[in-house]
Structure 1
């Protein structure tokens, strides 16, 4: 099958959606499918590259509207895909891409992965909502990462009959590399206390401020891997709450170094506070490393991934007291951490592997192709 994917960006651009698009595209290539990705470049010129067997067309970016890149010529590129592709796979939200898809109206079976609602950008949403509904009505099938997305999204519930749940997946074997154990042990040796790990961008909906306030009452070190506009505020809050001496902030790490951090941690925390956190793929990575997770009960896929009492603990979003209590519980109980860690690994292998994600995605592709 010849598949064309449409998204805002493609790695090395950082972002959970971008990494998912790459992982899915490369896995499809490994299965013998031909995959192209049409995305926006970071620069005004258009370039075509090949990464992991995926042909990546980066259209020249003219400017951004909020965080959405505007790349002129996208509608023309999509029309040209009629002679190149068997199926078009859109990744949403990408307002410019979806508007250009509507304008181009390519005669191809179409699938859209709905990654998350737009939550904070209310002005953008007011203009985006009418044609997003048109997009959702026109595409053949809609992929969501959890049942909660359909249940709680005002955009998806009216088109629930065409939604298909395909959880994101990872390669658990990546976390069983024995060569990384010594690096993980070296990381542990640098800490006198247990380690609570956070991985992600330092932006509002990640709730890192709530985590810092909670850590003021947890006898453990906090390691943050990530960067973002709130880093200075996180450091200031850590200093004000007494967490500063126990805080380490590392920039985004190469893959093997990041895996070693997951293996070294005693607890992983995803303290997100808004529906913008639609799934929390980093939870799967921690679980694959055998590290129990503390996350929040958002009306999204976050608690769908981290099942309370199975792979970790789930607390109300924005509640620093409840978060501190959950972290203290796990930090103090070696047996509970070990049990949840083993169950977390089993849960990943049973429900969230990359192979399962690809099989389920291909099933949706075949369904929409046969329906045309």
Structure 2
């Protein structure tokens, strides 16, 4: 079986939850004998040579321009057509309006699957223009994948296509993460101590970090933020004035693992539904850390079960977030128990192997339906 994935960016050029999901899936598929190509846009300077990564291939084309966070490429169509010819299935990753155009103009009836990563939240004014195109795209694909039952139930878009939606949670392979060397752990312990609250992710508008910073100020509890992004300058300004917050920027995988091993809990304070899943929660769970999330009706509540694997608070509520932080800090046995349950849940439900197997079954179902049509 040969599968072509198509998305607006990819590892190692950029880091994010969708990119990590695609990488883990493509790796798992390749290890099961699936021939996997990934076509992605890139803004990297210089020659964009194909990359071999974890037994699959990444083909990058130059991003020509961007409108409303949507990348466009004048050279993608030709490369897509070339790669699509040999593919049995094309696997798209939504939302990305340029992808919809490519599919509708060039897919030529090729069997197709789309992973629905998120509703469109921010560009409401553009959504009115985009909705007819998105609806046509979603009608034409053979299957739509939601990444959690929670998102399927709370997304008005997914509910319109519920008869063709299958839920396949994102999974990660613990073996794909390096174990930190003892000297790396020692160095970070000397710098940060232990038991701090940790956020990992791109610093975007929907991550709710302003509320985490306020909660850290209210409690005085040490809080570490790992990642960079468009909100970084504003967040650093907010954190000034003796707050217990440390910004570390981007870290290597080894350093990230070292910091995870030292933290007391992982916090994902996202306050908008653009946070559709929360891969960082899986990373925290696999390190046996209790989780703090918000009730936004997405996959974050599928990963983090309230009062079992961690605490769930109302979104955009610094006081509630502060209370959750204090509760875990004041009750180490509870925090340890929740962390152990988070580890067990992540191992049981969110493995990369289970994700890859589920997608292979889905691909086979689509191909069988097409063959019998």
Band the TM-score falls in, shorter-chain normalisation:
over 0.9
Correspondences of 1:238-253 after superposition (within 5 Å): 238-240=239-241, 242-243=242-243, 246-253=244-251
Cα displacement string for residues 189-244 of structure 1 (whole angstroms, at most 9, x for unaligned residues): 4345730101112221101110010111224211110112222222222224x41x
1:345 aligns with 2:343: yes
Distance 1:2 1:195 in 2: 45
| SS of residue paired to 1:278 | coil
Q: Given the alignment, which residue of 54, 77, 80 partners 1:78?
A: 80
When normalised by structure 1's length, the TM-score is 0.94
Q: Given the alignment, which residue of 104, 126, 137 partners 1:135?
A: 137
Q: Is the 8 A contact 2:211 2:317 kept in 1?
A: yes
Distance 2:106 2:305 in 1: 42
Distance 2:64 2:233 in 1: 30
1:296 aligns with 2:294: yes
Q: Is the 8 A contact 1:208 1:234 kept in 2?
A: yes
| SS of residue paired to 2:219 | coil
* Alignment match, 1:269: 267
* Alignment match, 1:306: 304
When normalised by structure 2's length, the TM-score is 0.93
* Alignment match, 1:11: 11
Cα displacement string for residues 129-172 of structure 1 (whole angstroms, at most 9, x for unaligned residues): 11111111111111111012221212111110111111011123
Distance 1:27 1:193 in 2: 34
Cα displacement string for residues 51-82 of structure 1 (whole angstroms, at most 9, x for unaligned residues): 22222221222111122211124344333345
Q: Is the 8 A contact 2:277 2:300 kept in 1?
A: yes
Distance 1:5 1:236 in 2: 39
Correspondences of 1:54-133 after superposition (within 5 Å): 54-133=56-135
Distance 1:168 1:211 in 2: 25
1:331 aligns with 2:333: no
Q: Is the 8 A contact 1:78 1:106 kept in 2?
A: no
The 1:64–1:131 alpha-carbon spacing in structure 2 relative to 1, beyond 3 Å, is same
Mark the runs of 5 or more structure 2 residues left unpaired by the alignment.
none
Correspondences of 1:354-369 after superposition (within 5 Å): 354-369=352-367
* Alignment match, 1:195: 196
Distance 1:263 1:46 in 2: 36
| SS of residue paired to 1:342 | helix
Mark the runs of 5 or more structure 1 residues left unpaired by the alignment.
none
Q: Is the 8 A contact 2:194 2:263 kept in 1?
A: no
* Alignment match, 2:22: 21
State the superposition RMSD in angstroms. 1.9
Q: Is the 8 A contact 2:267 2:291 kept in 1?
A: yes
| SS of residue paired to 1:190 | helix
Q: Is the 8 A contact 2:4 2:84 kept in 1?
A: no
Distance 2:295 2:323 in 1: 15
* Alignment match, 2:225: 224
Distance 2:326 2:181 in 1: 27
